[in-house]
A and B are shown apart, each in its own frame.
Chain A
Amino acid sequence: MNPVIISASQIVKKFNGLTAAVDGVSFSIEKGKCFGFLGPNGAGKTTLMRMIYCFSPRSSGTMTVFGRDPLREPRSIKQRIGVAPQEDSLDPDLTVIQNLEMYARYFDIPKTVVQQRAERLLDFFQLKEKVRSKIDKLSGGMKRRLIIARALINEPELLVLDEPTTGLDPQARHAIWAKLEELKSQGVTLVLTTHYMEEAARLCDELVIMDLGKIIEKGSPAELVERHQVKNLEEVFLKLTGKDLRE
């Protein structure tokens, strides 16, 4: 068995002491795997991701990332994580290359290293022609690719992707999937939230389905289809949550 990268037990997150957005969630994620969190809008996926990448403090429960507690050692954990948040959070005051360079500074990466890495990443994500473009001149798909490229500037051992392909056309989505598969083959652990069953089926080794802050099912995509005796993951999801995803 691979070493465990994230282990979480009975995680609860309440905003203003009100109802729990994440309500007693436990899971553990192994090194080198792609772990998916599926769930309808408001299920608590983003809230959970933010606790993993040490942005939000949890209300209760225990969690370790790389064996450390996000509440105690956020810096050393964040140093080893790449985060591609759900919302477009590229720095619109900077160009494409400056976005990567500035981000690298936050990680204390030496300048000479950054140049090589940035070039390689822009190449990898087919953004080479846009090096000096301003962010608002990029298409949605390019922005998404740049967000992922930015998340990789510190060569993270763990990449957290909150809905990496939402709002993209099928080509752009497939392009990103191919890149993520390549990263996985390089040994990067992926944690991913998604609304697309096709995405989950293609990328995830293991996944959980969340609804209303709770995990209601877990397993590999194939296991889930088998267990529920349906044709595909989408039907598992609909059966469990009773909701259509792309509403």
Chain B
Amino acid sequence: MRLGESPLGRRVFKVWLRDLIVWSKYWHGSLVGSLGEPVLYFLGIGYGLGSFIPAIEGIPYIQYLAPALIASSVMNSASFETTFSSFTRMEIQKTYQSIAATPVSMEEVIAGEILWAATKACLTGTVMFIAVAFLGFIHSPWAFAAIPVVMMTALLFASIGMTVTSYAPDYDFFTYYFTLFLEPMFLFSGTFFPLSSMPPLLQTFAWFLPLTPSVYVVRSLFQGHVGFHLLGPLLGTIVLTLFFFFFAIRRMVKRLVV
């Protein structure tokens, strides 16, 4: 219990900076790592399989897929950072404990880690965005409005990942999280095919998966479909992000500060 001083402040960015400095040493490897998978999906499924698929919702399959892959690659990158990488820093390297012995609070350590993971994921997303633009798949200036939505997606999954880490006894726990939660979500959030092709009950269920609203909004913006139909999914994503951001911090502080 902390009384008096506010536990969350500007020092968050010192932790963020620490991660940035480390990343800047290995950025090439890290970027290849997080871009490899989405690019393979893009080529294999988008171009390969996609050439057998008729237009979906009036657009060629590869253009249907591209915005969803940006959202899901950001999800993966953010998730990886706050699970496997954060767990290593916390349990193996004791980085959190040693930073918390300085005027930086544990709350700031965790918040900085989440913000960093989101930033790193956004870098992946940006590279993909530029690639998609170069391929000529951007038809509406609204596509640029997708950037803050992608950032929010990054923050959301960084926060959920950190929440998972707060419960994790070991690395195996993350394997379960990835294979039982993230990968099914990657498939069933309207990434590869429209939700409308699933039975109604599954469709309703799919809307409760945290990736679905992001994919929906990002794709709509890419196609310039702007309207009130975006409001619900956007609001949902924001609320969920705020919830998990603060919940993750609380849970981690509870785990670490004993």
- Footprint of B on A, CB under 8 Å? 15, 53, 55-57, 71-76, 78-79, 81, 83, 85, 87-94, 98, 102-103, 105-108, 154
A75 contacts across to B, CB distance below 8 A: 5, 103, 105
Give Cα distance in the complex from A74 to B105, angstroms.
Answer: 8
Q: Counting CB contacts under 8 A, is B135 at the interface? A: no
CB proximity of B184 to chain A, nearest CB, Å: 33
The answer on a CB contact under 8 Å between B5 and A73 is: yes
B residues 208-258 near A (Cβ < 8 Å) are 257-258
Interface string of B86-101 (1 = CB under 8 A from A): 0000000111011111
The answer on a CB contact under 8 Å between B4 and A73 is: yes
The answer on a CB contact under 8 Å between A78 and B102 is: yes
| 20 pairs from A and B in contact (CB 8 Å cutoff) | A53-B101, A55-B97, A56-B257, A57-B2, A71-B2, A73-B4, A73-B5, A75-B105, A76-B103, A83-B101, A85-B97, A89-B93, A91-B18, A91-B95, A92-B93, A93-B22, A94-B21, A98-B21, A106-B11, A106-B104
Give Cα distance in the complex from A83 to B98, angstroms.
Answer: 9
The answer on a CB contact under 8 Å between B3 and A89 is: no
Specify the main secondary structure of chain A where it touches its partner: loop
The answer on a CB contact under 8 Å between A107 and B102 is: yes
Give Cα distance in the complex from A74 to B102, angstroms.
Answer: 9
Give Cα distance in the complex from A98 to B20, angstroms.
Answer: 13
In the complex formed, the residue of B with least CB distance to A108 is B103
Q: How many residues of B contact A (CB 8 A)?
A: 26
In the complex formed, the residue of B with least CB distance to A77 is B103
20 more CB-based (< 8 A) A-B contacts, given A76-B5, A89-B98: A72-B3, A72-B5, A74-B2, A74-B5, A74-B105, A75-B103, A78-B101, A78-B102, A78-B103, A85-B94, A85-B98, A87-B94, A89-B94, A90-B98, A91-B95, A92-B93, A93-B22, A94-B21, A102-B21, A154-B102
Give Cα distance in the complex from A98 to B22, angstroms.
Answer: 10
The answer on a CB contact under 8 Å between B97 and A89 is: yes
Specify the main secondary structure of chain B where it touches its partner: loop
- Footprint of A on B, CB under 8 Å? 1-5, 11, 14, 17-18, 21-22, 25, 93-95, 97-105, 257-258
A55 contacts across to B, CB distance below 8 A: 97, 100-101, 257
The answer on a CB contact under 8 Å between B93 and A71 is: no
- Other-chain residue from A57, A76, A154 in contact with B1 (beta carbon distance below 8 A): A57
The answer on a CB contact under 8 Å between A106 and B257 is: no
B5 contacts across to A, CB distance below 8 A: 72-76
Give Cα distance in the complex from A88 to B94, angstroms.
Answer: 8
CB proximity of A42 to chain B, nearest CB, Å: 16
In the complex formed, the residue of A with least CB distance to B26 is A93
Give Cα distance in the complex from A85 to B16, angstroms.
Answer: 23
The answer on a CB contact under 8 Å between B98 and A91 is: yes
Give Cα distance in the complex from A47 to B102, angstroms.
Answer: 17
Give Cα distance in the complex from A105 to B14, angstroms.
Answer: 7
Most B CB atoms within 10 A — which of A76, A89, A106? A106
CB proximity of A51 to chain B, nearest CB, Å: 11
CB proximity of B18 to chain A, nearest CB, Å: 6
- Other-chain residue from A15, A106, A108 in contact with B258 (beta carbon distance below 8 A): A15
